[in-house]
Structures are given as C-alpha cells and as structure tokens.
C-alpha cells in the first residue's frame, strides 16, 4: 500500500487493451447507448498541443496525431480515436499506438513515511510481473531540467507490446505521460514520442522523488 503511485501508473499504461472503456475515472456515463456508443456525452478533441493550466503543464503532440480529452485522461494516436467506441480509428500496423496523459492527486498515504528507492523499484517489478509484464528499465532521470521517473516495460503474450512512461509531479499532483502499443508500432513511433516528451514544460514542477517520499 506504500506504492499507490506505481500501482496507478502500471494499471494505466500496461493493460493489454487500454481503450476509453478502461478509463475508470472518466467523468462521463460509460454505458452503451442504443447505437452501440460507449459514451452519451462528447469530449473535446485534442491535437497540436495539450495543456493543464492549473498545473502549469504543456506538451506539443506529434504532428498529425489526435485524440480525446477525457478530463483526467487524454489519449491521442497517429490516426485518432473513435469517440463512440473508444478504439483507434482504422490504421496500419505501424500506427497502433496510444500516447496517454493522465494525472492523479498524490494519495495522502504517500506522505506518512519515507520509502527506500530500491524497495520501491522492487515493488514496481513485482507488480508488473503480476499482470504479465517485465520492467526493462526503471530509473529517476533529469528531463528538461526536471526530476522525473522513466519506466520501460514489455508485456505479453498473448499480445506482445511495450510501454514507456514518464512520471512528473506538480505540487500535490502526479502527471503520467506514456506511449504503449504492440512492439512493432511502439518501436516505429518511439522517436516521435521522445520528441514530444522533450517539449514538456511544467511551471510548477516538483521533484518526483520528494513528492512520493523516496529516499
């Protein structure tokens, strides 16, 4: 229970078939209507760039990618996302990836005690293994002058895939920016994702290790 942040990250970005249907904290009705649509309300389209003004967060998205803003979760892809079904619009094998941006308030329990980094990373690995994934790399790095966590994972079978997630903090909030998809699509789009990550700015950024009380 000391590692709620990692658990949130893993469940958001490693699920083998993450679509709008998997966004449990989406602020909308999630039942199918008579036409087979997932949502009865519409969400804002996202392309070009995305900002969270209250957290001072901004990112320039890969050129041509588009998606939906679900308030607490944003998803974009090379061919866009169908707002009725929550899946990628028709695409070739090389475009079957999601760029996902999510935010979560730091759970109060994270402030109760300091935690050892090595134990934290061990927990991340075991959590990944419990859902059929393997952590290839988990480290704290400097990105655009910010202290962040960078996590690379491989999942499958039945579907072999990869995900990379950067975890940032701003005040009492944690922001996840990740790319996930089948291995071929992931590898083909990783450079575009990395270029987008390099544009991230957070005016109110804080040290992720301090935010989650890691020593």
The residue extents of the domains of the chain are: 4-27+35-211
User: Looking at residues 173-179, what average pLDDT do you find?
Assistant: 90
More confident residue, 92 or 135: 135
Residues 83 and 113 sit within 8 Å (Cβ to Cβ): no
Q: Please state which of the ranges 12-21, 40-49, 51-60, 63-72 shows the lowest mean pLDDT.
A: 12-21
Q: What are phi and psi of 135, to 5 degrees?
A: -75, 120
- Report the pLDDT averaged over residues 83-93: 73
What does the pLDDT read at residue 21? 38
Highest mean pLDDT out of 23-37, 134-148, 184-198: 184-198
Sheet with 57-60, edge to edge strand ranges: 49-52, 57-60, 201-202
Q: Kindly report the pTM of this predicted structure.
A: 0.79
Joined tokens for residue 175: 């922001």
> What dihedral do alpha carbons 94, 155, 207, 143 form, nearest 10°?
-30
The pLDDT score that the predictor gives to residue 133 is 85
User: Among residues 157, 138, 137, 136, which one has the least CA distance to residue 209?
Assistant: 138
The average pLDDT across 184-201 equals 95
pLDDT at 41: 55
Q: How many CA atoms lie within 13 A of 211 on its CB side?
A: 26
The fold of 4-27+35-211 is Protein Transport Mog1p; Chain A (3.40.1000)
**Maximum Cα–Cα distance across the chain:** 53
Q: What whole-number percentage of the chain has pLDDT above 90?
A: 31
Average pLDDT of span 67-83: 86
pLDDT score recorded for residue 158: 77
Residue 16: pLDDT band (50, 70, 90) is: very low
Mean pLDDT estimate for the chain: 77
């Amino acid at each position: 229970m000391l590692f709620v942040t990692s658990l949130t990250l893993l469940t958001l970005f490693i699920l083998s078939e993450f679509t709008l249907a998997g966004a449990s904290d989406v602020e909308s009705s999630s039942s199918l209507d008579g036409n087979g649509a997932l949502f009865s309300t519409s969400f804002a389209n996202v392309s070009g760039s995305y900002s969270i003004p209250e957290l001072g967060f901004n990112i320039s998205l890969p050129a041509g990618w588009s998606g939906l803003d679900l308030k607490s979760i944003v998803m974009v892809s090379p061919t866009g996302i169908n707002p009725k079904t929550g899946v990628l619009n028709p695409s070739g094998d090389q475009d079957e990836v999601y760029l996902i941006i999510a935010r979560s308030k730091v759970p109060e329990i994270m402030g109760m005690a300091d935690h050892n980094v090595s134990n934290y990373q061990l927990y991340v690995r075991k959590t990944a293994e419990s859902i059929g994934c393997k952590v290839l790399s988990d480290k704290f790095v400097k990105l655009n002058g910010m202290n962040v966590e960078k996590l690379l994972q491989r999942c499958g079978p039945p579907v072999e895939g990869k995900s990379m997630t950067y975890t940032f903090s701003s005040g009492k909030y944690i922001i996840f920016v990740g790319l996930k998809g089948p291995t071929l699509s992931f590898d083909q789009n990783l450079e575009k994702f990395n270029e987008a990550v390099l544009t991230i700015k957070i005016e109110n950024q804080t040290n992720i290790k301090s935010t989650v009380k890691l020593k």
